[in-house]
Amino acid sequence: MKTKIVFSEKCLEYGSWHIEGPERVRRAHDILKEKGYEFLAPEPVAEEDILRVHDADYVQRLEEGLIVDADTPAYENIYEYARLAVGGAVLAAKVGGFSLMRPPGHHAGRSGFALGVRTRGFCYLNNIAIAIKIVNKPALILDIDGHHGNGTQEIFLGDENVTYVGLHRFPHYPGTGYSSETNCLNYPLRANCGDDVYLKTLDQALSRVDVDNVEVVAVSAGFDSHAGDLASLGLTEKGFREIGKRIASLNKHTFFVLEGGYSGENMGKDIDKLLEGFEL
């Protein structure tokens, strides 16, 4: 059975000039629609659920449009767009789907900034972290974005209920994730390392996870690790298909939340291949 895609056209309404703009998601949506995926519409998450993860002062400033950095502008109504993106992650968690929503989330820490990094990397609320807090079951977060999920690590560092595994390019933005710490297992990789090195590293990473004590797998699904993208690790469509197969082998309730990936054409094809591998 095909994985359901969570999507709302409202996430295309802002930031047309930005590299993290609507075209990347619009093109991916069109490709997945052509492939015959079923789409579900999310609802905005409740603020009380956001406060499970983020500081109240930060949420208030975001709602009032007072959160600004060079990467992460204070778009009009950005708090509502961010709430809807979190709602996408929550719905994906419920149905075992793929949330094709923006803005992304894995760089957003409790107060926006995380692990000493003074930009939010296009992220406002940590979509996957809030979804995991709502699910409230022992979880593995697998972050395959080409950038380290410093916000997600900050939120869950030392949490006995969650294991975070990140494979990412280093040195590269945000400059974190160069070593593992307690429940956060980090695997820095060289630029353009390619499918074989990546998959060997992924196998090593998953072998360190106590899968018997995991009930939910949440995938921070970034595609900027595709060859030539913003955080290229030299991955191909074939590589993403193999990643999907490895995730499926864990045999757990699984959901996916979009992070990076800045070529809509490649991203749509990579999502399809990731899910194809997962559904085998």
What does the domain layout of the chain look like in residue ranges? 5-279
**pLDDT of the residue at 70:** 84
**Which residues are designated catalytic?**
107
Give residue 32's pLDDT.
Answer: 98
Superfamily of domain 5-279: Histone deacetylase domain (3.40.800.20)
Cα 175 to Cα 145: distance, rounded to the nearest angstrom: 14
How long, in residues, is the chain?
A: 280
**pLDDT at residue 68 in the model:** 78
pLDDT in tens, the chain (280 residues): 899 999 999 999 999 999 999 999 999 999 999 999 999 999 999 999 999 999 999 999 999 999 878 899 999 999 999 999 999 999 999 999 999 999 999 999 999 999 999 999 999 999 999 999 999 999 999 999 999 999 999 999 999 999 999 999 999 999 999 999 999 999 999 999 999 999 999 999 999 999 999 999 999 999 999 999 999 999 999 999 999 999 999 999 999 999 999 998 999 999 999 999 999 8
The conformation of residue 189, written as its DSSP 8-state character, comes to: E
Give SS3 for 48: helix
Q: Which H or E run includes 141?
A: strand 139-143
